[in-house]
Structure 1
């Protein structure tokens, strides 16, 4: 893990020592002892937590991440005559780049954000891994290009960037800022599976080297199960390698249990970590401990209290460049804190749901099949009627979903505010920034696919990098804990992308074929457990324990130039009295208000010019 930032100039590099110091300060919380920097006429590069030697006297390579097929690549290159002094990931990347150019990114198996400076040709390259496990931010102006591991470093180099109103509006639907946007105008997060090229003569260009899409091929179920088992064993072994201390997050579900079941055969001393809440139905600790006992591995657990939950929130937001209103961020942060007391590397099950069909919403097409037999004219009338029904009325949601095309209503696993609700919430709602602006181009690529496969595709390209992997990377990185996600391996994906929907989903079960593959590694009673997710009692707490806290944040927040505070307070009161469950909507508002306080109010003070500048 390392923090980095770089400045490229097509003219003579002109950057002040003060800017450099501020950018370094923004990354100092990584608490790394190693620091290195490089400067020539066109580039400044600074790294916190790693060294960046010149390889072959030509390539400067910065790597945030880990390459799991390092040895295989090195062996291949040595057979071609390449010599290695250290065999480090950086040296392997530099030699592979010299051999294959930008095609090298396709071969890398791992999590990475890579910056390469070709000192001879004066060309800057930057690449992000296949699924977006490591972030890479960039900004380009007339003569300069900035790259960084965190947006805050770029903000120190280019201060007074305007707030991106489109990104803000989308945040309130998605609960995160959908990539590649950020809340800062002109600062972007590079999409997974892409790389950048910047030369002295030409503007920044972006290219795709990997496209996560599903291409099902019908086959024998037993053969598919065997292939899943083979590739997962290989992936877990690659991710565990020869680590002295290895751990895993363990819930009561199939994904983490499967990883632990495989990993313990490689590393019998693996430790597991679980967190939960005292509230009934909001803790998988008992199931996790039961699973750990059957797998014969140690388990450490922690019960989270409402006070601790709120107390950690400002610190957690300080590790995020943009607001993320996924309540699961807090228990993940606390689980990482617990794990770091015992291990340096932890396995986690991110990606299994998106690859193997794990969300219950993916089975929705079966329950809505009845609407396919209804004439289109009648469907429109039913839709109009359903809109008239009061919110919360039994059957309203079913009728609306059944009479609304998938590409008009599905935006991913979290959908917080509808467009009509955002019109009431935002001071400056813009009709052109509706959530379909994000999802429509994605749906167009998969319009002929099975509905469940379309939803998987949307999630992989929005929800996975924008929420799931963002919180996994930042919450573990806050404790300098190295998280590894064996499901999100390019070799695993090559198997998963070919599995037909009929093997992934049935009328009453998700991840069907993955469960069958797991029978070899986990106890039988774990196989058919329903997905609990990572439940957090935010809605319950906002009615009682956290009501006063939430009310105070709304009243004290200086976001009235962006949000209708009266609407925010109404949502809170209606929720407290049980008129509506506004828990997730309120949490999305509260997280933004706290983020605003940390990133705008406290930093800019009286000079923030109406709050329009970050």
Structure 2
């Protein structure tokens, strides 16, 4: 790596921030040689006689102990009666034990772990779409677990790239399922229970997205749905704020000005009474982002928040991107992730006292995103005889109108392939991939591997839902893969700065309620997507912002320019060609950058800085 590049991406001091690490070992030197030296901590030791030792450390978790067990709670949990649950209550009410966890006894968004003090056994459970994670690695002498992926990466003896996930990375920019970017590191899937007993692991799914038994039990009435959603948001946001304040902490809302974050702010305000009401958002200093800035400013004025804009320029981006990869020990799955790091670094540099940051992320895949209109149109059109033929003909006739023509031709292809789920253009494969160069990935990995990877992603949500609704099928893929992974990585970044993000849209009680609303009105009404959230915001604010189109939170066109001739160009020129890519394809990508090049750039940086360790 050249001196110029090293100077450009010179990083701030890296730190682990808040984390939890625990496990079991039969090696008496493990704790001193790895844990104490690597993290400069003194973990709690639980001696299990001749079997070995449990070790445990958390810098922020809620912990309770008895003579037989140690219980850890991360996140926000509540009982069946909707009262907050802490670790002591989970233990005393016998909801958790090292041998079993009564996952039906609580809900929310969190992770629970129970370690035995008398035998080599522990249990763990992660709520559906829970943000606190459990990563683990099986070693010859035991097991290492942590909520932070980078902690596990730092502790395992050898780092090896898990090359099986490469097609996922280049197709979807994320890795879903239990596999991770590094071999022999596994993660517990959301909604799953895990039990480890003396070297043996068993897991089983405890949560489902199928909460309605038959079509007649769905909510079909808009007014009823809106009333129930309003009550649910009131209860969940109120519970989160109560739990946050009981911990002596404050909160901030990440207010972009969109429907989701503005709606959250409308529920936060009444709970804070006369206390400081702060909000924050990032600003990428390019002309196309001004619309987003104006939108956040209008929302802040409407809801009377003390708003802070965190500004950064294109020159800041290379350093932010490389620090993200260093802190996550894996590639980000979206170009906006460095923006969250910019916020975190600003907050810590300014010594803000608030720890918790609310976000509206996740709403799109629960309540409808822009592609819902296209999906509904295709669902209606394909019922017309020979729809693919006349749609193609219309697209050819309108070829002078390039954008409209391309949309019609693509629609024709999608309809023609409706009985072939393996087709690249099929809606579950194509609509939720991000500017993929299909020809390049085919040549790099081969048709059979690409089709297998697409099929695996389509089938992944089937363990959570058997819904055959055309909108559920696509949205559940997005929800359980890209959207969830993006949220998890943002939370991991926040924890490195001793902050926590709060995701009300991923709370189990809200998810369960949302899924009782029929998909035909939950995602879209007429051709208005996310109409329930818009109408709920209008009801609460009586402001036109509820139905105003929002600017994008990305700068894709500028991003390509940064790679072509801007501040990312030195990193692009420094990319090493991976073995699976031909020299011809590689040279073409480097010489003519497009958005897909981001996948190669993040993989190259990850490989150098994490796998090879070329980051010192």
Q: Please, which moves more after superposition, 435-444 or 452-461?
A: 435-444
**Aligned pair partner of 2:152 in 151, 154, 158:** 154
CA contact (8 A) 2:178 2:186 kept: yes
**Aligned pair partner of 1:510 in 529, 535, 548:** 529
Q: C-alpha deviations, 1:157-194, integer Å up to 9, x for none?
A: 43235422221221111101122210222321110011
Query: In 2, Cα distance between the equivalents of 1:564 and 1:189?
Result: 32
SS in 1 for 2:70: strand
> CA distance change for structure 1 residues 162 and 337 in 2, over 3 Å: closer, same or farther?
closer
**Aligned pair partner of 1:273 in 261, 280, 300:** 280
CA contact (8 A) 2:64 2:72 kept: no
CA contact (8 A) 1:273 1:339 kept: no
Deviation, 1:255, is 0.5
**Aligned pair partner of 2:309 in 301, 307, 317:** 301
CA contact (8 A) 1:559 1:596 kept: no
> CA distance change for structure 1 residues 3 and 562 in 2, over 3 Å: closer, same or farther?
farther
**Aligned pair partner of 1:539 in 557, 560, 565:** 557
Query: In 2, Cα distance between the equivalents of 1:565 and 1:235?
Result: 53
Q: What's the C-alpha RMSD, in Å, of the aligned pairs?
A: 3.5
2:538 maps to which residue? Answer: 519
2:505 maps to which residue? Answer: 487
Q: C-alpha deviations, 1:357-397, integer Å up to 9, x for none?
A: 2x111222222132333459979999xx9xxxxx9972443
Deviation, 1:328, is 1.2
1:240 maps to which residue? Answer: 241
**Aligned pair partner of 1:552 in 561, 570, 577:** 570
SS in 2 for 1:147: strand
> CA distance change for structure 1 residues 182 and 61 in 2, over 3 Å: closer, same or farther?
same
Deviation, 1:444, is 8.4
1:176 maps to which residue? Answer: 174
Deviation, 1:597, is 1.4
1:65 maps to which residue? Answer: 75
Query: In 1, Cα distance between the equivalents of 2:104 and 2:225?
Result: 24
> CA distance change for structure 1 residues 489 and 107 in 2, over 3 Å: closer, same or farther?
farther
Q: C-alpha deviations, 1:500-549, integer Å up to 9, x for none?
A: 123230343111122222223234212112354521x2432432576365
> CA distance change for structure 1 residues 151 and 299 in 2, over 3 Å: closer, same or farther?
closer
1:404 maps to which residue? Answer: 417
Query: In 1, Cα distance between the equivalents of 2:42 and 2:433?
Result: 39
SS in 1 for 2:539: coil
SS in 2 for 1:126: strand
- 1:474 corresponds to 2:475: no
2:605 maps to which residue? Answer: 594
2:265 maps to which residue? Answer: 260
**Aligned pair partner of 2:294 in 286, 294, 302:** 286
Query: In 2, Cα distance between the equivalents of 1:548 and 1:115?
Result: 47
Query: In 2, Cα distance between the equivalents of 1:220 and 1:239?
Result: 28
Q: C-alpha deviations, 1:253-291, integer Å up to 9, x for none?
A: 110001111111111422010222233332412111111
Query: In 2, Cα distance between the equivalents of 1:436 and 1:194?
Result: 22
CA contact (8 A) 2:358 2:503 kept: yes
Query: In 2, Cα distance between the equivalents of 1:377 and 1:427?
Result: 28
Q: C-alpha deviations, 1:126-169, integer Å up to 9, x for none?
A: 22222131121123367633322233433444323542222122
Q: How does 1:568-607 map to 2 (within 5 A)?
A: 568-575=586-593, 582-583=594-595, 585-602=596-613
**Aligned pair partner of 1:187 in 180, 185, 197:** 185
Deviation, 1:207, is 1.3
Normalising by structure 2, what TM-score? 0.82
> CA distance change for structure 1 residues 378 and 51 in 2, over 3 Å: closer, same or farther?
closer
Q: Please, which moves more after superposition, 332-341 or 254-263?
A: 332-341
Q: Please, which moves more after superposition, 495-504 or 231-240?
A: 495-504
Query: In 1, Cα distance between the equivalents of 2:259 and 2:537?
Result: 8
1:37 maps to which residue? Answer: 44
**Aligned pair partner of 2:117 in 98, 119, 124:** 119
> CA distance change for structure 1 residues 286 and 431 in 2, over 3 Å: closer, same or farther?
closer
Deviation, 1:487, is 1.9
**Aligned pair partner of 1:7 in 7, 10, 23:** 23
> CA distance change for structure 1 residues 192 and 379 in 2, over 3 Å: closer, same or farther?
farther
Normalising by structure 1, what TM-score? 0.82
2:9 maps to which residue? Answer: none
1:209 maps to which residue? Answer: 206
CA contact (8 A) 2:46 2:117 kept: no
Q: Unaligned regions of 5+ residues in structure 2, if any?
A: 1-16, 397-401
Equivalent residue pairs, number: 565
Q: Unaligned regions of 5+ residues in structure 1, if any?
A: 29-33, 75-87, 386-390, 576-581, 606-614
> CA distance change for structure 1 residues 506 and 373 in 2, over 3 Å: closer, same or farther?
same
CA contact (8 A) 2:325 2:331 kept: yes
Query: In 2, Cα distance between the equivalents of 1:353 and 1:603?
Result: 38
1:327 maps to which residue? Answer: 335
